[in-house]
Amino acid sequence: KDLLALVLRETLLTSSQQELSGLRTTERNPERISIVHGDIAVLNDSLKNADPCTAKGCKWPKSGKYVYVPYIISSAYSQEQRNIILGGMESFHLSTCIRFVPWNSDDCSYIYFESKDGCWSFVGRQDNGQYLSLQKNGCLYHGTVQHEILHALGFHHEQCRSDRDKYVCINKKNIEPGQFARNFKKEQTNNLGTPYDFYSIMHYGKYDFSINGQPTIFARADPYFDWGHAKHMSSNDINRINKLYECCK
């Protein structure tokens, strides 16, 4: 029904992701990787630990005024698809101190944009490089590129914020049974003093993962309020990057 619903569909690891084994030492064994919260890749031994980025050292390092994030874009993309990814990166250059730079052999950490199974990303910087999957059919939209990049920069889904219960109510009986419930689990997050934001590109839609067409998330202030149609980062999303990475210092 909506871009984000597509983006956030549960993605299970398949044999195609076993290609990971060739690229990075930390992920040599694909059984160690799981997808949680719909589109977040984690190593299994860190499943229980989704700490704020600042506490885990998964922030990308700042060098002078800028935070340089090396990237590689898979040659599997067409020029048009590549331009959508580049446009997503460019939007960070325009509003934050994040600067995506082409990977060179000195860079140990980098984002490898690849068309794998679904749209997903690790949260925060990983050692030895990390995949960010934007599947050719279904993930190449400006907002989706921004969403997955925000994960890679260290951000969680908005409705998983530590203070989310003040603003939303999760309606468990409307969630597809099985593993989907875990997509709505609350996390210990560093909210950086920014308000809860229904217009964040990181917020699930009201009906995502619904089994019966009824809302899976209600806004406490107004049960009829609808959201989840964001096509790009909100001003809060931008603020948070600038705060986490101290762009204004």
Which residues fall in the annotated binding site for Zn(2+)? Answer: 147, 151, 157
Q: Provide, rounded to whole angstroms, the least separation between the CB of residue 244 and Zn ion.
A: 17
Dihedral pair phi/psi, residue 169, rounded to 5°: -125, 125
Distances (CA, A) of 63 to 60, 97, 163, 192: 10, 10, 32, 21
Q: Are the C-beta atoms of residues 123 and 50 closer than 8 Å to each other?
A: yes
CB-nearest residue to Zn ion: 39
**80 labelled catalytic:** no
Q: Which of 114, 148, 187, 246 is catalytic?
A: 148
Nearer to Zn ion, 59 or 151 (CB): 151
Choose between 36 and 68: whose C-beta lies nearer to Zn ion.
36
Is the Cβ of residue 62 or residue 186 nearer to Zn ion in the bound state? 186
CA 54 → CA 175, 178, 242, distances in Å?
A: 32, 32, 14
Residue 64 CB neighbours (<10 A): 7
Report, in Å, the least distance between residue 166 CB and Zn ion.
Answer: 22
Q: What is the DSSP string of 195-208?
A: PP-TT-TTSPPTTT
User: Minimum distance between the CB of residue 79 and Zn ion, rounded to whole angstroms?
Assistant: 26
Interface residues toward Zn ion, by CB under 5 A: 39
Catalytic residues: 148
